[in-house]
Amino acid sequence: MSRSARTTIVFALISGTLMLPAVELLRLFWTWSTAVKMVLWIDLAVYAVLMARWSKTAPGLLAMPLAIVLGAALWPQSYWGFFTLALGVFVWIRSGVCFNSLPLRAILAEAVTVIGGVLLLALFGGQGTTAMALKLCLFLLVQSLYFFIVPSDTTASKRGAVQDPFEQAVKGLTRVIDGLCQ
């Protein structure tokens, strides 16, 4: 299991667990729906930064997409529009900004994880904060499948990431032995 998949699973569990207290805290300032949207925006922002770190992408590239979703989160009466926009920006950040080197695999991975995650949410009923926390956790758990379909390590190595120290040592030793043999 890759580090990205493992971290996504842990992030899903933490996000689902913290959603209820975070919504209750934010309800001191906003309505319930705005508080839920803000918690989801915070989760999206944190996860986007994690994906940027995994893919060695500059975090500044995330500012515009996240600002658009923040505007939708604060816009009154935009509950379903916010979810649709947030989902679109999530896909844009993951496959367009962070992991964009394997286009056919990325499209397949996005289709499987996003459509599967949305279908799972549609099957799971409930509109309260507890139900929303479970839905968030389930959605993010399904998103971890993306990193099984599109390995993040391949993408990182194509962008010039540091190789495994053992492999570097083997290559260095090979160069030394080749130099001695000539």
Sign of CA dihedral 165, 53, 55, 3: positive
Is the separation of the CB atoms in 140 and 6 below 8 Å? no
| Tens-place pLDDT, residues 60-71 | 999 999 999 999
Length of the chain counted residue by residue: 182
| Tens-place pLDDT, residues 11-40 | 999 999 999 999 999 999 999 999 999 999
Query: Whole-angstrom Cα distance, residue 181 to residue 174?
Result: 11
pTM: 0.77
